[in-house]
Amino acid sequence: MKKTKESNTVSEVKKEKSTGIFQILLLWIFIPLLFASAVLLILAKFADINVFDKAKEWTEKLPFVSEKNEEEADDGAIDLVLEERLVTLQAEIKEKEAELFKLQSDLDKSVDEKDKLLLEQQRLADEIEQLINDNDVSKKDFKGIITTYEQMSAKSVAPVIVKMTDSEAVRILASLKPDTLAAVLEKMEPEDAAKYTSLLTSDS
């Protein structure tokens, strides 16, 4: 029973001591610090000094804070480089798109020109075929004319030949059979016969 009272007394004494130390710290350290801080803030207000900006400047001068700021600056520089690279890549993409559009346009033009050339080729082929057909017809007509002249008398053919152009006359005379040609030339005036004979000789 006596030991219990003594232990209670000792614990009460310890509580009083710990309470006394806390009060001493509060009265002699924390309260004066708070008072000094309040006075400094008031003085800074009257002196037009931004205490928070100053505190920020001082903290930035601390080693670990400055390292953090340098890291942030490095991160900012990296971000700037990445943004510049992004802009460059976007410009390159636009340039490539323009080149692709130009190539597509050139390709379309080439296709159009190829189609035009094919149409022109087809038109020329049709024209050549038409000329060949016309030539065949004209040859048949010409053969018919020659046959007609062969069946006519030399006396009737001679005046008709003289009235033709030299090229037409030579063409017909050259197509006649040798006997018919000789008979036709005999029925011409000597000057005309000599002229056509000369033309036939030079043409051959």
Q: For residue 69, give every residue at least 6 positions away whose Cβ sits within 8 Å of its Cβ, in sequence order, or none.
A: 60
In whole angstroms, what is the distance from residue 197 CA to residue 204 CA? 11
Q: What is the DSSP letter of 189?
A: -
pTM here is 0.37
Tell me, what's the pLDDT at 44? 66
Tell me, what's the pLDDT at 195? 92
Question: Exposed, middle or buried: residue 171 (CB in 10 Å: 0-12, 13-18, 19+)?
Answer: middle
Tell me, what's the pLDDT at 135? 67
Tell me, what's the pLDDT at 1? 47
CA 135, 139, 145, 151: dihedral to nearest 10 degrees? -170
Tell me, what's the pLDDT at 59? 62
* Mean pLDDT, contiguous 10-residue spans, the chain (204 residues): 49 56 69 73 70 63 54 70 89 90 89 86 79 70 86 90 90 90 91 90 72
Tell me, what's the pLDDT at 2? 44
